[in-house]
Amino acid sequence: MLSVCYRFAHHREDAEDMLQEGFIKVFSQIHTFQNKGAFEGWIRRIIVHTCINHLKKNKKFNESVDIIHATSIQVREESVPSIVQAKQVVECIRLLPIGYRTVLNLYAIEGYSHKEIADMLDIEESTSRSQYTRAKQMLEDILVKKKIIMRPKEKNNWLGVAAGR
Amino acid sequence: MERGFYKEDIEELLKEKADQYKMYPSDKVWKGIHRSLHPNRKWYWLSLILFLGAVGYYTFIEFITPSTSSKAISKNNPASTLSKSTETTTGSGNNKPAVIIPFGNPKQTAGSSTGSIAKQRTFVLNPDNINEAGNTGVVINMDQPPQESAPAGNIEIQDNPILAFNQEAPVYDLDSRPVKKFWQPDNTVAGAQVPAAMPLTNPVAIDASRLGENTHNAQEDNKRMSWLANNAVYELPVPKQKRLGWQLTFTPTMNYRIWRGSNYPSDVKTLPLAPIIEGDPEKLVNHKPAMGFEVGSNILYTLNKTFTLKTGLLFNFTRYDIQAYSSSNSEPATIALNSNWGIATGELTTYTRYRNFGGDAAENLHNQYFQLSVPLGLEVNLLGKDKIHVGIGGTVQPTYLLNRNSYLLTADYKYATEPSLVRKWNVNTSVEAFISYKTGDLKWKIGPQLRYQLFSSYIQKYPIRENLYNYGIQIGVTKTIR
C-alpha cells in the first residue's frame, strides 16, 4: 500500500503520512467490513481516498497543471536495463504534474471511471478524460526518453522493448 | 492515432509495473498507527489518579486530621498524654519563651514540711520553645505583675521545686532541643532524670509559704486571672488575616450545544457524492442533552471582604446524545469544508455507517469531550454577615481537550469521525451564584453555575459552529489555609 501512496505523493515522507492516516481509518473502521468483497480491495479504496483527501488538505491538488512543466522534465539518457524495472515506471509516473498523475493513477492503475474521478476530484468528467489523455501522452514521452519503451515507428510494436523482454 | 492503438497495452503495462513495485514503510509508520489506535490512555488515567490522590491527601490532611495548633494544645493536656511515655516536640517557629504558671489551690498536707506531695497545678505555656538565653523557662510569680516575672534561668531539675510540686501536669526539659517531656503524672520514666517530689520550700521559683497563704484567698485567683488576661492581650501575637483558601468543587451538569451555520458552506452549490438537502440542520437532526460533571480544585486569595481571586484546575466531562441510524455497510460520507476565501472549496471523504436519516437500526451516539481547564476568576460577596453569605462569581477558563469521541454531521447527513477537524485548545467561561455557610475554617457553598464554550469545538474549516454549554449545581468547600 505504500507504493500506492507513493504514486500519489510528492515525497516518500508524504506517502508514509498518507499510509499512516489510511491504515488508522482501516483499523478504526474494520468492523464495518462486511466480507462481501476482497479485503485488499476495501483497504485499497480507503487508502486511495485518504491520499486524495491528503492532497486536498495540503492544497497540492489545486496546483495548476501545466504541460510545459512536463516538457522541462530532465530525463536521463543512460541505457535502459534489460529488464524493465517497475520502479522506473513508477518513478516516471511520479514525474508527471500532480493533476495528471492523480487522474492517471486513478484511471489506469486503480480502475476508477472518469465519472468517479470527477466526483472525487471536484472536476468535470470531460476534464478527467482530457487530463488523462494528456497525462498518458506525457508519460509516453517520458518512457520513450528513458528508453523504457520504443515508439511504434521504430518497431512495429509500441511496447516492443518492454513487453518483449 | 498510433498511440490510440496501443492504449490498452500501455495501461496494462502501467498497472502491471505499478503492482509489481513494492515498498515497505518504516517502523515510524507502524508506531504512529499504533499510537493513534491505542492512545496512551494510561497517561490520562494516571494524571487523573494523581490529581485525585493529591486532592484526597490534602483533604485528609486539612479537613480530617487535627490542625497543628490543636496538637500543641493537646500536649498541655495531661489527660491526653497519660499513655505516652516519651515524647519530643519540635520548635513551631514561635520564639516565645516557655512559661510555667501555677494556678488553683495547692493542697498541702500537714506533713508538707517533711516532703509530702504538693497538689499545686501549673500551666506550661509554649512548652515547645526555649528562650533565646537558653533558659529552661520562665516561672511566673503570681504576686508580681506580669512584667516583673523572673526567669528561672538554667535551673536544674533537682533545684527547681516548681517543676516538682505538681504531679498532675507533665514536666518538660526545656534545656534540651527539641524540648523533651521527661516526666508525666503516671510517673512513667521517660528520661534519665525524673524529679522527685519535693516540698514547696525553695524560694527560687515561687514562695511556697505565700502560696499557702493564698490558698483561701479568692482575690489571688482573680489576680491570676487578670494576669492571664493581660498576658493574652499584650503578649500573645495578634493573628494575621487568613487570605488563602483551598477549594474543592463538584458540579453535576446538564450539557448541550449551540449550533450555527450549515453542513454546507454558504458558497457551495454542489458537492460530489453529497446531494443538498434543504433545511436548517439544527431542525433536521435529533440531538439531546446529557449529564456530565465537573471536578475542580482551586486556590482562593481574599482581597478584602467583598472580592476573592480564584484559580486552579478543572476537569470537565461534557457530552450530548445523538439519535442516529446505523446501516450494515459503511458508506462514503462527504464532509464539506469552508472555502478558502472563496477560491477553492474543500471536502473530505470518509466512511461511516451512521446516518441521520433512515438505516437498519436506531443508534444512540454520544459526543463526549474530556477537558482540562485553568479557571481564572473572581468571587464577589454581595450579602450576608458572619456565617452566611450570598455571592456571585465568574471565571475565564483556557481549556485543553484531553480526549474526545465526537461525530460530525457530514454534508450528506451522516455522522462521521474526523479528528483532524476537532479543535484542541479552546476557552470556556462560567458564571455562578452561590450561598455560603462558614463553620470554623471551612466554608461550604452551593449554587447554580453556567458554563459556555467561547469557540467552536471544530476548526474553522468545518462549516458548523458548535459551542458547548452546561448548567449545574456546584457544591464546594473551602478550607482556610493561611
Whether B14 maps to a domain, the answer reads no
Q: Are residues B329 and B414 in the same domain?
A: yes
Q: Which H or E run includes B87?
A: strand B87-88
Domain ends where: A62, A88, A103?
A: A62
**Do residues B333 and B414 make contact, with C-beta atoms less than 8 angstroms apart?**
yes
Residue B256 CA to residue B317 CA, distance in Å, equals: 12
Grid cell digits, residue B53: 490522590
**Do residues B247 and B476 make contact, with C-beta atoms less than 8 angstroms apart?**
yes
Q: Are residues B294 and B196 in the same domain?
A: no
Mean local confidence (pLDDT), B323-348:
75
Flag if A2 and B25 touch (Cβ within 8 Å).
yes
Report how many Cβ contacts below 8 Å link chain A to chain B.
125
Give this prediction's pTM: 0.47
Cβ burial, residue B251 (10 Å; 0-12/13-18/19+): buried
**Do residues B147 and B227 make contact, with C-beta atoms less than 8 angstroms apart?**
no
Flag if A3 and B349 touch (Cβ within 8 Å).
no
Count other Cβ atoms within 10 Å, centred on residue B77: 11
Instruction: Please name which of B138, B128, B132 lies closest in space to residue B178, comparing C-alpha atoms.
Output: B128
The predicted pLDDT at position B122 comes to 62
Domain ends where: B235, B265, B287?
A: B235
**Do residues B76 and B127 make contact, with C-beta atoms less than 8 angstroms apart?**
yes
Grid cell digits, residue B335: 464532509
Flag if A90 and B18 touch (Cβ within 8 Å).
yes
> A24 and chain B: CB distance < 8 Å anywhere?
yes
Q: Are residues A101 and A114 in the same domain?
A: yes
pLDDT above 60 for B222 = yes
Grid cell digits, residue B213: 497563704
Residue A41 CA to residue B272 CA, distance in Å, equals: 22
How far is A155 from chain B, CA to nearest CA, in Å? Answer: 12
Grid cell digits, residue B201: 520550700
Q: Are residues B267 and B403 in the same domain?
A: yes
Handedness of CA B126, B130, B131, B135 (dihedral sign): positive
**Alpha carbon distance, N-terminus to C-terminus of chain A:** 27
Q: Are residues A11 and A87 in the same domain?
A: no
Q: Are residues A70 and A143 in the same domain?
A: yes
Mean local confidence (pLDDT), B74-83:
44
B298 φ/ψ angles, rounded to the nearest 5 degrees:
-125, 155
What's the domain count of chain B? 3
Q: Are residues B177 and B82 in the same domain?
A: yes
Question: A79-95 pLDDT, tens per residue?
Answer: 444 445 677 788 888 88
Q: Which H or E run includes B402?
A: strand B388-405
Residues 287-306 of chain B with CB under 8 A from chain A are none
Q: Are residues A57 and A70 in the same domain?
A: no
Question: B294-324 pLDDT, tens per residue?
Answer: 999 999 999 888 899 999 999 999 999 999 9
Q: Are residues B294 and B347 in the same domain?
A: yes
C-alpha distances out from residue B376 to B252, B310, B397, Å: 21, 6, 6
CATH of the domain at B331: 2.40.160.20
Question: Which of B9, B32, B328 shows the shortest C-beta gap to A34?
Answer: B328
Q: Are residues A73 and A110 in the same domain?
A: yes
Question: B224-260 pLDDT, tens per residue?
Answer: 777 777 777 666 666 667 788 999 999 999 999 998 8
Residue B459 CA to residue B456 CA, distance in Å, equals: 7
β pairing state of B361-373 and B307-337: antiparallel
Question: Which of B18, B340, B352 shows the shortest C-beta gap to A89?
Answer: B18
Our CA angle for A129, A133, A134, nearest 5°, is 120
The ipTM value here is 0.70
Could you tell me the residue range of the domain that residue B209 belongs to?
76-235
What's the domain count of chain A? 2
Residue B55 CA to residue B32 CA, distance in Å, equals: 35
Report which residue type is found at B92. S
Which has more confidence, B85 or B315?
B315
The predicted pLDDT at position B46 comes to 79
> A84 and chain B: CB distance < 8 Å anywhere?
yes
Q: Are residues A90 and A49 in the same domain?
A: no
**Which residue bears the cell 511556697?**
B208
SS (H, E, C) B161-214: HHHCCCCCCCEEECCCCCCEEEECCCCCCCCCCCCCCCCCCCCCCCCHHHHHHH
Residues 24-43 of chain B with CB under 8 A from chain A are 24-26, 28-29, 32-33, 36-37
